[in-house]
Structure 1
């Protein structure tokens, strides 16, 4: 079965989405592109299972997905008020991510698709983030994307479904990793990002001056390992650190990250204008780090200065969720043809297939 319709405005599809790439077990039902509507979006976090380890343990995550995924799918269908007859296709994350979790979700989707006689769409998790703004804000191609999801921090040019060009990336730690490592260094709980942000609100951002790596170099690449090292050096000098010092360090770290992203965003918008002088520029920020309010404010300011549109998804769609996977499935279905049962799950799957991995590659594929 293939869904190809030259007139997208006259097409309506209802898709079940499944997401299990990390430590959220999620299922959703989304309808579109006509009358775009998230009919249900169920997410079960595993934070409690991983907190004592200070990070996600892949084996624990995979087992947790196995235990609860069937119930999450049933709940998503119930909340959507849809029966299997109403579902046109099943979309699921086929990578990248923790391979155990990806296998659980994708093989479950294959089983559902086969049993229900529905088409299967294997979705790149990063493409789910990339296309979310088209679900929430009716954004047209092309646009710029700042992807800050999990181990990824990239600027991408989004020209169409499946058509991505990586313009810049981190050469070491991703932003989310840097936040988590900073939190661990300062004795803050897991997950690190929200706790660093909470402490930063109590801190004096002027007390410590931390570096803004790579801003003296052209291009859109980023680096955050040196920033993390500079913070560690400051903390070591002041050991034992009190709560106010922790808050001040968090504030300085968060501001440095926000400044780097704002500067690179301005450069990305300049590049977009060179490429597309007749197109109004738009910058989308997607992924878990997009929930950080200071980073959002910094990016919004940079976009306003450049007279560009700034789009950040609703908070519920910033972190991993299945609504974005279902929507990406709809976008893919409209391109046709759909995937077959031979499509494998994969731990690595860059959006820009033509760009070599900055951090290298191996049997699993390019890392970035």
Structure 2
């Protein structure tokens, strides 16, 4: 069976994914990077070290699942965004493995940005990249961007048209979660704890101007609430997510021409945010596409899909 390998080495996860010629996932292996208790991130050198340690483990896990597969191409992320000034050492680990494998296997190597990888992870479910422009919402640990994406020969030509002017939604959630004593990354723990709140919390107002929103004020407010023991952990988690959604809604309201929206990223795995976004898009008659379950957070399926798509186009 023809198969296509995708590699992604991001700030939080080492990822390998293999899809077949129909773009179905054959194998998916990931390891989340280890952050010390109480920490709020990692240095780039530590990320590279952990990726280099994790990649052989993931390939060993992958090997038994590929006995009937022939790798025809490799896709790998090589930078955060498709911009000349976009660079992050963490991606060199995956790129090095991708280049080496492609050379040894004598197959094509296709590179793309981490942001394109996320959007393509959702488009894979449709079986096509298409030709029409669409809006993208990328919510991750370090990114809150509203994007305008246009498919082209290199993948997706992406323009940032909105987002945060300071900390990302993921950083806001992580900082509140860590202050509450939850593990980092804290998103999944904040999500679960928020669901135990007796009554859904009302959000704080989020500043928004011309598509730019700010979470630094609400984050300071949340830290004061925690220090002053104002509310239970569940109530504060519920308030945090409600406040994130208030900011996202204001940002999306600014785009009156929006007809389709692809929403991806680790933060977009949040059940509350998915529900609010789905209801919002129904009210505005906007087509919403979410990544398949388990593929919104960092993973290599978008890179694998891009490699498979390119090989299909070359025939």
Aligned to 2:213, what secondary structure does the other structure show?
coil
Q: Does 1:36 align with 2:23?
A: yes
Alignment of structure 1 residues 1-368 onto 2, 5 Å: 14-32=3-21, 35-46=22-33, 49-58=34-43, 59-83=45-69, 86-96=70-80, 99-138=88-127, 140=130, 141-160=132-151, 161-203=155-197, 210-214=204-208, 217=209, 219-236=210-227, 238-239=228-229, 245-268=232-255, 270-272=256-258, 281-332=259-310
Contact kept in structure 1, 2:203 and 2:242, CA below 8 Å: no
Q: 2-side partners of 1:245 and 1:50: how far apart? A: 25
Aligned to 2:232, what secondary structure does the other structure show?
helix
Report the alpha carbon displacement of residue 303 of structure 1 after superposing the two structures with TM: 0.3
Stretch of structure 1 that moved more, 129-138 or 295-304: 129-138
Q: 2-side partners of 1:263 and 1:207: how far apart? A: 18
Report the alpha carbon displacement of residue 109 of structure 1 after superposing the two structures with TM: 1.2
Residue correspondences, number: 303
Give the structure with the higher percent strand.
2
Unmatched 5+ residue regions in structure 2?
81-85
Aligned to 1:222, what secondary structure does the other structure show?
strand
Q: RMSD value over aligned CA atoms? A: 2.5
Q: 1-side partners of 2:272 and 2:36: how far apart? A: 25
Report the alpha carbon displacement of residue 261 of structure 1 after superposing the two structures with TM: 1.5
Superposed CA deviations along residues 61-95 of structure 1, whole A, max 9, x for unmatched, are: 32222223123124334314444xx2121111211
Q: 2-side partners of 1:283 and 1:182: how far apart? A: 28
Q: Decide whether aligned partners of structure 1 residues 260 and 90 sit closer, same or farther in structure 2, where only a CA change above 3 A counts.
A: same
- Matched with 1:7 is none
Q: 1-side partners of 2:101 and 2:64: how far apart? A: 16
Contact kept in structure 2, 1:29 and 1:326, CA below 8 Å: yes
Report the alpha carbon displacement of residue 259 of structure 1 after superposing the two structures with TM: 2.2
Aligned to 1:271, what secondary structure does the other structure show?
coil
Q: 2-side partners of 1:292 and 1:209: how far apart? A: 16
Q: 1-side partners of 2:145 and 2:200: how far apart? A: 28
- Matched with 1:347 is none
- Matched with 1:349 is none
TM-score when normalising by structure 1? 0.75
Superposed CA deviations along residues 264-307 of structure 1, whole A, max 9, x for unmatched, are: 33433x223xxxxxxxx221110001111111111101100011
